[in-house]
């Protein structure tokens, strides 16, 4: 019994020294991420290969992505597809709970709660910065989570998603796929746009109008999930599902 106690104390002490040391080492290998200004600067650099003129996507704005510019239906679809329909009704993960979530994630363990979507989105933003998967990406995600609020995490993720070198952010994707501004998309088109993002990643299929029947089936499933999560009325979902796939209209 006494030996087990000593082993436990040694393990706690060892981790209390080793984990912070590893964190600081990984942190020193990352670009500065101490403020939102740092984050915006890094995202602009990461998107430097984009062929779009400066300022044509949300990520390029000097003030950062504006959550208010995102269509409410798009945000609802986004949260539904991540499996966190109550994202804005739950308190943000913080403190020990958040650190435990990040540490557990390195071992493939996902504690319950909407904090998992905060972690997922922070990791996606870190990936947009060019930080590869692994412990380094988790450290970057932790820094990003510390400087952004819950709604900002969503805005930054949707504005920095890269679809191809010339298309960055959902506004750019809306123009590339539908020849419209994001705010001008109908519900059915917003559901199709979401198919270009994880977990579906149908951007090429949408762009080339490849397998329209699969696109429509997936779009209608996305809309039905909105209804099941009480984020959309059945009437509006049925009306959107009756629309043809956008790429088949021409």
CA distances from 241 to 3, 140, 170, 199, 223 (A): 65, 39, 21, 20, 7
Residue 11 has pLDDT above 60, yes or no: no
Helix/strand/coil (H, E, C) string of the chain?
Answer: CHHHHHHHHHHHHHHHHHHHHHHHHHHHCCCCCCCHHHHHHHHHHHCCCCCCCCCCCHHHCCCCCCHHHCCHHHHHHHHHHHCCCCHHHCCCCCHHHHHHHHHHHCCCCCCCCCHHHHHHHHHHHHHHCCCCCCHHHHHHHHHHHHHCCHHHHHHHHHHHCEEECCEEHHHHHHHHHHCCCHHHCCHHHHHHHHCCCCCCCCHHHHHHCCCHHHHHHHHHHHHHHHHHCCCCCHHHHHHHHCCCCHHHCC
Q: How far apart are the first and last CA of the chain?
A: 75
Map tokens 């043809």 to a residue: 244
* 62-115 confidence digits (pLDDT tens): 568 999 999 999 999 999 999 999 999 988 888 888 888 887 777 778 888 888
Q: What is the pLDDT of residue 99?
A: 81
Q: Enter the tokens of residue 144.
A: 């990003």
pTM: 0.83
The pairing of beta strand 162-164 with beta strand 167-168: antiparallel
The mean pLDDT value for 44-72 works out to 67
Q: Which residues contact 84 (CB under 8 A, 6 or more apart)?
A: 114, 116, 117
Residue 119 has pLDDT above 70, yes or no: yes
Euclidean distance between CA atoms 79 and 82, whole angstroms = 5
- Phi/psi for 139 (5° steps) reads -65, -45
The mean pLDDT value for 2-31 works out to 47
Q: Which residues contact 147 (CB under 8 A, 6 or more apart)?
A: 33, 34, 35, 36, 39
Q: What is the pLDDT of residue 238?
A: 97
Q: What is the pLDDT of residue 135?
A: 78
Euclidean distance between CA atoms 178 and 181, whole angstroms = 8
Q: Is the dihedral of CA 179, 182, 185, 188 positive or negative?
A: positive
The mean pLDDT value for 150-178 works out to 94
Q: What is the pLDDT of residue 59?
A: 47
Which one of 5-14, 35-44, 149-158 scores highest in mean pLDDT?
149-158
What is the average pLDDT score of the chain?
A: 83
Residue 148 has pLDDT above 50, yes or no: yes
* 18-27 confidence digits (pLDDT tens): 455 555 455 5
């Amino acid at each position: 019994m006494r030996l087990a106690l000593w082993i436990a104390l040694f393990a706690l002490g060892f981790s209390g020294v080793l984990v912070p040391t590893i964190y600081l080492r990984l942190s020193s290998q990352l670009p500065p991420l101490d403020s939102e200004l740092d984050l915006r600067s890094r995202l602009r650099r990461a998107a430097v290969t984009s062929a779009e003129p400066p300022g044509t996507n949300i990520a390029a704005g000097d003030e950062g992505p504006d959550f208010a510019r995102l269509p409410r239906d798009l945000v609802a679809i986004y949260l539904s597809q991540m499996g966190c329909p109550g994202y804005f009704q739950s308190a943000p993960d913080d403190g020990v709970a958040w650190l435990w979530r990040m540490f557990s994630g390195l071992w493939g363990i996902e504690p319950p709660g909407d904090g998992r979507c905060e972690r997922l989105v922070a990791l996606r933003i870190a990936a947009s910065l060019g930080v590869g998967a692994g412990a380094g990406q988790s450290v970057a995600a932790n820094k990003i989570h510390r400087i952004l609020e819950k709604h900002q995490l969503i805005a930054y993720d949707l504005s920095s998603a890269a679809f191809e070198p010339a298309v960055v952010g959902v506004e750019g994707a809306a123009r590339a796929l539908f020849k419209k501004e994001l705010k001008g998309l109908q519900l059915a088109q917003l559901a199709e746009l979401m198919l270009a993002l994880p977990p579906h990643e149908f951007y090429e299929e949408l762009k080339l109008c490849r397998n329209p029947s699969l696109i429509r089936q997936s779009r209608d499933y996305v809309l039905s999930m909105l209804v099941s999560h009480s984020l959309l009325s059945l009437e509006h979902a049925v009306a959107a599902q009756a629309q043809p796939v956008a790429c088949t209209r021409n």
